[in-house]
Amino acid sequence: MIQRADLASLLSRGAAFLRWWRRELLGMLPASLRAAGPRTILDLRGGSPILARAKRGAWHPLAPAEGVVPKGPIARAMCAEDRLVVAIPSAWIMTRVLRLPAVAEPRLDAVLGFELEQHVPFAAEEVVWSHRVLRRLPDSQGIEVEAAILPRAMVAAAAGALRALGARAPIQARPDPAAEWPAIPLDALSPPRRGWRGRVEAALALAAALLLLQLGHDELSRQQAVLDAVQARAVAARTAAERVLTLQAGVDEARGRLSAAMALRSGRPAAVAVLEDLAQRLPDDAWLTELRLTGSQLSVSGFAARPDALLEVLDASPILREVRFAAPLTRGPRDTADRFQLAMRVVPDAALPVAPVQVVAR
């Protein structure tokens, strides 16, 4: 069974939700359709803090601020405002016009914190202020800024009294409650208490942060997978490149050997070709006992029945030139043929096999 206290708490929370929803909906309306300025203010212009309500273009007192009960009708009217206004005497506000470099505009709050100490008889932590840019000076690359300064001590109690009523809307101090300037924020003096809306916003912010963290983790995982795939392809490509380089080295080595063989072959005929040519050209009654090939010089020794016929036979060879006897012919007492020694030069012009030549002894 629902207790009376629980029902009252539930109704209070429902009313707070409806007031918040009303403020949100009003914020979506165009400025021309919204009510100009607040309807309930805390007025300090008469000396004592009084809650007043706008009616027919004038402010009518409702009750002294210290006598207002939290969660009462007047307090609920204050809590329904989307902005809480503390009306103050215009003499409390000091205004200064400062000329600053244009580069200071994005961080005017920080710059004014130092500049105002040079222009007002208070320390920066003793005042609250607001500012607006009056005009920009492109010729001198500067700006003119108007600052409205208010001592904290004059409005600290009023800001605390509004927060004590349960209000969570932003608080501003204005000389004219209906005017947008000057309007000095007082939330730094009495920050709004975090209710259920604040907890919901914090939870949503945490959920958004966790979602971004998860998305970042997923993106990092995807990038790591892509990197692993690229590295795998790089390893495969490197292995293939090493295999190609090994094959290329083998090809280069074989090509070098072939070039060396071709150079050697083009330098002079091989000894086998010389032997083959001699064997084809020597007659049957001649035989060799010694053959020596030194560079391009060839010397042969042997026996022949007609040594003089060998000169004509060997001169016809395409690879032999300058055939001559290197020593006189000799014959031993028991020999049946003359012993000869021939010298000749081997030329590299023709290494092709030659047709056999048959010499018939006479």
pLDDT block averages, 10 residues each, the chain of length 362: 60 66 63 61 84 80 72 72 85 90 87 81 86 90 91 87 78 88 87 62 79 86 90 90 89 82 59 82 86 88 87 87 89 83 80 41 36
**pLDDT score recorded for residue 148:** 92
C-alpha Rg value of the chain to the nearest Å: 59
Residues 301/282, Cβ–Cβ less than 8 Å: no
**Cα separation, 362 vs 354, whole angstroms:** 24
Backbone dihedral region of 30: left (phi > 0), alpha (psi from -120 to 50 degrees) or beta? beta
Q: How many CB atoms lie within 10 A of CB 284?
A: 10
* Residue of 307, 297, 305, 312 lying closest to 327 (CA atoms): 307
**Cα separation, 157 vs 15, whole angstroms:** 27
Count of positions (residues) in the chain: 362
**pLDDT score recorded for residue 144:** 92
**Cα separation, 304 vs 287, whole angstroms:** 7
Predicted TM-score of the model (pTM): 0.45
* Residue of 337, 335, 327 lying closest to 300 (CA atoms): 327
The domain defined by 271-346 folds into Gyrase A; domain 2 (3.30.1360)
**Cα separation, 96 vs 342, whole angstroms:** 127
34 secondary structure, DSSP code: S
- Domain 4-195 = CATH 3.30.420: yes
**Cα separation, 167 vs 80, whole angstroms:** 8
**Cα separation, 25 vs 47, whole angstroms:** 35
Which amino acid would we find at residue 142? Answer: G
